Amino acid sequence: MLQLDNVVKTFGALRAVDGVSLEVQRATITGLIGPNGAGKTTLFNTIAGAYVPDGGQIRLDGQAIGGLRADQIFHRGLGRTFQIPRPLGTLTVTENMLLSPHGQIGERFWNAWLRRGAVRAQDRRNLEKAREVIAFMGLGHLADQPAGVLSGGQQKLLELARILMVNPAVILLDEPAAGVNPVLLESLMERIVALNRQGITFLLIEHNMDMVMSLCNPVVVMAQGKVVMQGEPAAVRTDPRVVNAYLGDQP
Ligand SMILES: Nc1ncnc2c1ncn2[C@@H]1O[C@H](COP(=O)(O)OP(=O)(O)OP(=O)(O)O)[C@@H](O)[C@H]1O
């Protein structure tokens, strides 16, 4: 579903992503782990179009996406969340959801005037979908609240919900568990599994090993910009290369 071939991203002399080749198979929940500074977030930023790769190929479902803008990649079906979610705090949860859909008829000035009926019908469909997704994520009671009042965990659910508005094929989750209380984390994990059963492919960065071990297969390990190994969670847990990658990180 997502194919990386020798992807490089440098910052000056630092090769933060140093020739990463990786295949994320369709409908998997693939984990991406590694010590701090391994290059995981830089790799996400490069896949999702925040950075232009300095080398290599990135394909989404066979189509080259390396170098496209983040919004173009998003609308081709690859969504990503951030370590720290950034909803528009003064807008309501529902309004935040309605920022995601694209190709809205009303975006064109003349359409807004001349095709008012079609614009209204599309707005209604988007609103219905937003309500459905908000309910699915367990945020129904907060639909009309400003997003700024949500807890960190609820904001992560909202971020994922926003991505679902565009029917993504692949979702990159950057540390979904960080700062999320155990009850919400359980709820987030259930949603990820349910969405994965519907066919959505996930690649997720996570330091919470319990989450990685219970959710992800395979697990890919990065260190110093490179893929150290990948395999089933049980194999990764005991692999000496992985232990070395983490211990090498200790002072
Ligand atoms: N915008 C940037 N400019 C310069 N250097 C950067 C930039 N972003 C990341 N780096 C450096 O690139 C390397 C990889 O960082 P990155 O954040 O991708 O690692 P990570 O594996 O996601 O770490 P963590 O688990 O701590 O989030 C680090 O040495 C980091 O300092």
> For ligand 1, which residues put their CB under 6 angstroms from it?
11, 14, 16, 34, 36-42
Do the beta carbons of residue 88 and residue 80 sit within 8 Å? no
User: So what's the ipTM on this one?
Assistant: 0.97
Which of 9, 41, 205, 249 for a ligand 1 pocket mutation test, highest count of atoms within 8 Å of Cβ?
Answer: 41
- Pairing relation of β-strands 201-205 and 29-33? parallel
Neighbours of 202 (CB within 10 A): 22
User: Which CATH number does 2-87+163-247 carry?
Assistant: 3.40.50.300
Scanning the chain, the segments in alpha helix (DSSP H) are 40-47, 70-75, 93-97, 109-114, 116-136, 152-164, 182-197, 209-215, 233-238, 240-247
Name the residue at shortest CA distance from atom 18 of ligand 1: 39
pTM: 0.89
What mean pLDDT do residues 49-65 have? Answer: 96
pLDDT the model gives residue 88: 79
Q: How far is the CA of 114 from the centre of ligand 1 (A)?
A: 49
For residue 158, the number of C-alpha atoms closer than 13 Å in the C-beta half-sphere is 32
The alpha carbon of 141 and the centre of ligand 1 are apart by a number of angstroms equal to 37
What's the pLDDT tens digit per position in 187-230? 899 999 999 999 999 999 999 999 999 999 999 999 999 999 99
In this structure, what are the phi and psi dihedrals at residue 116, rounded to the nearest 5 degrees?
-60, -35
Residue 43 CA: distances (Å) to CA of 32, 144, 162: 10, 35, 22
Residue 20 Cα, ligand 1 centroid: separation in angstroms?
A: 15
Dump pLDDT digits (tens) for 80-99: 987 777 777 788 999 999 88
The residue ranges of every structural domain in the chain are 2-87+163-247, 91-149
Query: How many A from CA of 15 to the centre of ligand 1?
Result: 10
Centre of ligand 1 to C-alpha 224, Å, is: 10
